[in-house]
Amino acid sequence: MSSETIDTPTKIVQATLGLLERPNAKLPTMTDIARATGISRQAVYLHFPSRTDLLVAATRYQDQQNQVDAALAPSRGARSGAERLDAFVTAWGNYIPKIYGVARAIMAVTDTDAEAAAAWNTRMQDMREGCAAAVNALAEDGSLPPNTDIEQATDLLWTLLSVRNWENLTQTCGWSQDCYISTIRGLAMATIARDLGALTDVLACTEPPA
Amino acid sequence: MSSETIDTPTKIVQATLGLLERPNAKLPTMTDIARATGISRQAVYLHFPSRTDLLVAATRYQDQQNQVDAALAPSRGARSGAERLDAFVTAWGNYIPKIYGVARAIMAVTDTDAEAAAAWNTRMQDMREGCAAAVNALAEDGSLPPNTDIEQATDLLWTLLSVRNWENLTQTCGWSQDCYISTIRGLAMATIARDLGALTDVLACTEPPA
DNA sequence: GTTGTCAATTGACACTGTGTCAAGCAAGCG
DNA sequence: CGCTTGCTTGACACAGTGTCAATTGACAAC
């Protein structure tokens, strides 16, 4: 039933994602995208007014395809604040690799294109709400350190979980995904939930040399 | 004695830094730079073969002007590993704002220009050596957590101290420089030197609302 | 003073990439 | 048949990088 013919905008978006998801992808030009879709460059403009719009549409399509909400759901069902933080860090940390290709492209144009920057900010703001929810849950438990500003704790968690940090550790430094997750989780649990036991997970990764 | 007439390459570099250092600076074009220097666009090419070369020269000039080595010197004189880590984090953290303008410009072209990426990587690699030195000092003290891989600890410290994290916390979230320093220092001391007392500094910032 | 050299100037051009516009074509449908 | 819809080709304007050639002005050497 879903094997109906795919409409052109969707084909364009899929082709764009295909280009973006290959390792070491450069920013595709409109010509690249048209060629990958199998239509003319001008036809792309018939459906997307600008490259930025197309990139934004691509992220939306991808989120929908990946069921972000579903991936982040377990954290909403957690009983304690600490559990919630833990589940959220794990869920988001494992979601990043799926969106990294597109994220890189959007972050790259962010410096030159205000519209792209706005779109990316909105998306990160959504993620930030997850951070805020976890921090709030901790606050209700009373497991936040004394005198902690909730905003600040959210800022810190949000920064720890940034795509840039994931990129640094896994792409530049070559860490495994597991190692990334356990370290960042330990960091978050220790600094925000003051679960000092979590520190044993930090830097306790044995991985085969690359 | 130093009030001699400044040579043109230096004038160009200074003008470029001037453009880069204003808040919310866009990436300046060669025309912008020429205008700011007070010479023709073509004259810029007489001294720098490409925009990337110019940006790279600008970072070098700036490092030299700012005496990075001097700024990072105190950490080399530290007695214990923990002291050294502490001093390094503080020194680098306070150095970032001075280079942020240029750093932003270079990071922005990093996605499209391999040469710029290489230059920036080299620079970050230099910073990484400072991280490695601090981690090594801790290792000699025996104050690294058991079974810690030195490389991994260096990776983590290096990531915590990234310009992107500084940007996130101070520029996007609006943290004060002091707040940034004390939080990152606490994070580093707690996770790498296992100085749990340092956690009290994390999120313990009271700052007036923006 | 003439000559040479050097730095900078003007003006033109090639090239890449984005985004716009107009005319035409083919399919499907009333 | 004529109309609409989606796509095509081909041309163009615009911004920005980087290149090239011819010219000017200053300054020093002879």
Q: Could you tell me the fold of the domain covering B67-201?
A: Tetracycline Repressor; domain 2 (1.10.357)
Report d(CA A171, CA A188) in Å as an integer. Answer: 21
pLDDT band at B208 (very low <50, low <70, confident <90, very high): low
Collect all residues with Cβ–Cβ distance below 8 Å to B195 and sequence separation of at least 6: B82, B189
Residue given tokens 């004394």 in the structure block? A146
Residues of chain A neighbouring B201 (CB-CB closer than 8 A): none
Task: Over range B192-203, report the average pLDDT.
Answer: 89
Distance from CA of B194 to the nearest CA of A (A): 8
**Where do we find the tokens 């700024």?**
B71
Q: How far is the CA of B40 from the C1' of D23 (A)?
A: 15
Model confidence at B207: pLDDT above 80: no
pLDDT at B2: 39
Average pLDDT over chain B reads 92
- Of the CATH numbers 1.10.357, 3.40.50, 3.30.1360, 1.10.3470, which one belongs to the domain with range A70-201? 1.10.357
* Cβ < 7 Å from strand C, B residues 32-51: 38-43, 46-47
| Start and end residues for every CATH 1.10.357 domain found in chain A | 70-201
What pLDDT does residue B138 have? 95
Report pLDDT for A3.
43
CATH architecture, domain defined by B8-48: Orthogonal Bundle (1.10)
For residue A161, the tally of other CB atoms under 10 A from its CB is 22
What does pLDDT average to over chain A? 92
| Segments of chain A scoring below 50 in pLDDT | 1-3
List, for residues B181-194, the tens digit of each pLDDT value. Answer: 999 999 999 999 99
Give the number of other CB atoms < 10 A from CB of residue B171: 13
Rounded distance between C-alpha atoms, residue A128 and residue A148, angstroms: 18
Q: Which tens digits make up the pLDDT trace of A153-174?
A: 999 999 999 999 999 999 999 9
- Taken in order B58, B61, B65, B71, the sign of the CA dihedral is positive
DSSP reduced 3-state for A71: helix
> For residue B25, is pLDDT > 80?
yes
Query: How many CB atoms are located within 10 Å of the residue A24 CB?
Result: 4
In the predicted structure, residue B169 carries a pLDDT above the cut 50: yes
Q: What percent of chain A has pLDDT over 90?
A: 76
Q: How many angstroms separate the first and last alpha carbons of chain B?
A: 45
Q: How high is the pLDDT of residue B209?
A: 55
Query: Among all chains, which residue has been given the structure tokens 């950490």?
Result: B75
CA distance A125 to chain B (A): 11
Q: Which residues have CB under 8 Å from A37's CB, separation 6+? A: A8, A11, A12, A15, A44
**Band of residue B1 on the pLDDT scale cut at 50, 70, 90:** very low
Residues of chain B with CATH 1.10.10: 8-48
Question: CB < 7 Å to strand D — which of 36-75 in chain B?
Answer: 42, 45, 49-52
Partners of residue A199 in chain B, C-beta under 8 Å: 145, 190-191, 194, 196
Spatial distance between the Cα atoms of B68 and B89, rounded to a whole number of angstroms: 14
Angle at A41 between CA A32 and CA A109, to 5 degrees: 55
Percent residues over pLDDT 90 in chain B: 75
The pLDDT value given to residue A204: 83
Indicate where chain B has its CATH 1.10.357.10 domain(s): 67-201
B73 touches A at CB < 8 Å? no
- B157: Cβ contacts below 8 Å, ≥ 6 apart: B85, B131, B134, B135, B188, B192
Q: Give the burial string for B91-107 (b: 16+ CB within 10 Å, else e).
A: bbbebbebbbbbbbbbb
* pLDDT tens-digit series, residues B63-74: 999 988 888 887
